Amino acid sequence: MLRAAATAPAAALLAVLVLVLLPLPASAATYSSLWGKDGNDWDPRGRLPDFSYAGYKYGTEALPEPPVTRSVLKFKRAGMTDTQAIKHALDWANKQRLTNKFIVLSIPPGTYTLTERLFIRRSRVVLRGAGAGKTTLYIPKSLYDVYGPNPRNRETGAYVTSDAFLKIEGTGVKGSMAATVVKFAAKGAVWVVVNKPSALKVGEYFDMWFTDIGGKFNNYMYDNLLEAPAKYRGDTRVKFTTKILAIRGNASAACCCLLLLLLARIKIERNLPYDINYKMNIVRFHERPRTVSESGIEGITFAFKWTWYPGHHLERGMNAVELSDVRDCWVRNIATINADNTVLMQGVTSSTIVGVTISASKTRANRIPNQYKERADRDGHWGIEFAHSFDVLVRRVVQISSLMHSVGTDSSGKWGVFADLKFRDGNLDLHRALSGPTLYTDIDVGLGTNALWSGGPRASGANAAAGTTWWNIRSKKAVTPNASNTAKPGDCSYGPVINIVNVNLIPAMARKICRTWLYERYVSSPANLYEAQYERRMRLAAAAASG
């Protein structure tokens, strides 16, 4: 139920009206009230999150390019199929003792038939083709055909958003608990007080897990303007990973000596994304889990045998790549043809997907009746999707085919970035269940028929958590404001606190959008907010390091 919405600040409303109603000359540089020039107006306590930590190793390192260790053809014996050879190579790599060196298995140019699922289950293993369009894995049967109904989907047996023919699979998402935050800390702060400072170490990363109390924290993620579904009460659905910069003893003179030894102020690298308040959440530092990291998939085309698309939520598992319970991994320079889903992510942290082309050999869309009366008028389901994942970066995606959801954030995904994308007619989805904040920036959605439409089950609440941002979204025609199957275009029930910057909304509809949305139509700089935030972060870090 929508609560009484707070009136937007007068200054913000005035800025919105000016930017919507008074177009400026093309030669005039215009800046957002959220960012300003070079980030001078950005407020870590405000409505625009910091998305600069998205991607492989939080942007501290470029994606590695290690040399080839061995060709998969070296593992092929007489009578072996292509699948058996690649599987044998990966089994060998997964069993090797872990060192600091990468194991890179190459697949030479050519077309290879894949009939089983393949797994990377060790850190620093890379499966590398010669390049999308040069190395092709031809997949003639779906997961349903090979393995039968999906045991995770008892209702239909479909492979809707899980499992794929090539998977990087980790072993866990939560490490050992190290310390608990014991005092209030405000959003934007970098100092917190914990009860076990000895369990933390300067220079290392820790996961801060936020647990809801009585639904209050979940509501807070909508700025207390909407009520989150009761089924999420008490859940731990937010992970915020940060480096420890300093540990200081509690400076309060009122503390006794024993308490001085037990409590300490901890300085973290990132500004807190939310208030920490004992009445609404419990926040604990955890060690990062020992799971698969620094593994990758690259340079491969996944070509599925053409079939009609069976229908939304009836996907038979023509799924290319899945990442599950991993961190600091990547998918680079791949393509899919006739896929139901191209890249799926579950429980993924600080990973990068870059250089993806999605197409169909001919349209799979149809109006063939199916037993559940689900729509089948598309070429596939998801292009790239992440759920229960954090700080994921997706860049340089080209989608030629028509999908139910081009790219988007599913259940609980936060601080992900989609940037530099180009679609024939794509959409940018927030899929409910406390998903967001997410950043979409520097994107050409093409025609823009359903650019800002989102899906997701009705029972999972609003589509977008506060802070979700669409920034510099280009379209051939003006687009309808954000909407879903339960929220009319521009309605607050979609998510009461979102940012829409330099997006060509239909003017008549733009004037009627939710009062607590921020809409700035004419903003020329920066074109790519992620890059601007990242550059600012690096600039400030360099200045701090130089003293």
pLDDT at 437: 98
Place of tokens 């939304």: 312
User: How much is the average pLDDT of 411-419?
Assistant: 98
Report residue 58 as tokens. Answer: 């939080």
Residue 502 has phi, psi (to 5 degrees) of: 55, 55
Give how far Cα 384 sits from Cα of 189, 261, 343, 424, Å: 33, 48, 5, 16
- In this prediction, residue 4 has a pLDDT band, given cuts at 50, 70 and 90, of very low
In angstroms, the CA 366 to CA 75 distance is 42
What average pLDDT does the structure give for the chain? Answer: 93
In angstroms, the CA 230 to CA 211 distance is 14
In angstroms, the CA 547 to CA 255 distance is 33
Which segments within 216-318 are labelled E, that is strand? 236-249, 264-268, 281-287, 296-304
Model confidence at 18: pLDDT above 70: no
Model confidence at 8: pLDDT above 50: no
Burial 227-238 (b: 16+ CB within 10 A, else e): ebbeebeebbbb
pLDDT per residue over 345-367, tens digit each? Answer: 999 999 999 999 999 999 999 99
Q: Rounded to 5 degrees, what angle do the CA atoms 211, 213, 219 make? A: 95
pLDDT per residue over 227-271, tens digit each? Answer: 999 999 999 999 999 999 999 985 443 444 545 557 899 999 999
- Check if CATH label 2.60.40.420 holds for domain 56-172+291-414: no
Model confidence at 457: pLDDT above 60: yes
- In this prediction, residue 318 has a pLDDT band, given cuts at 50, 70 and 90, of very high
Model confidence at 369: pLDDT above 50: yes
pLDDT per residue over 421-439, tens digit each? Answer: 999 999 999 999 999 999 9
Strand order in the sheet with 191-194: 177-180, 281-287, 205-212, 236-249, 264-268, 191-194
Which of 28-32, 219-223, 297-301, 405-409 has the weakest average pLDDT? Answer: 28-32
User: Which residues is 469 bridged to in the sheet?
Assistant: 439, 499
Model confidence at 504: pLDDT above 60: yes
Share of the chain above pLDDT 70, in %: 93
Comparing CA positions, the residue from 63, 59, 57, 118 lying closest to residue 85 is 118
In angstroms, the CA 248 to CA 264 distance is 6
pLDDT per residue over 306-317, tens digit each? Answer: 999 999 999 999
Q: Higher model confidence: residue 172 or residue 217?
A: 217
Taken in order 116, 122, 125, 126, the sign of the CA dihedral is: positive
- In this prediction, residue 12 has a pLDDT band, given cuts at 50, 70 and 90, of very low
pLDDT at 547: 74
Q: In this structure, are strands 125-129 and 177-180 parallel, antiparallel, or unpaired?
A: unpaired
Domain boundaries, the chain: 56-172+291-414, 177-287
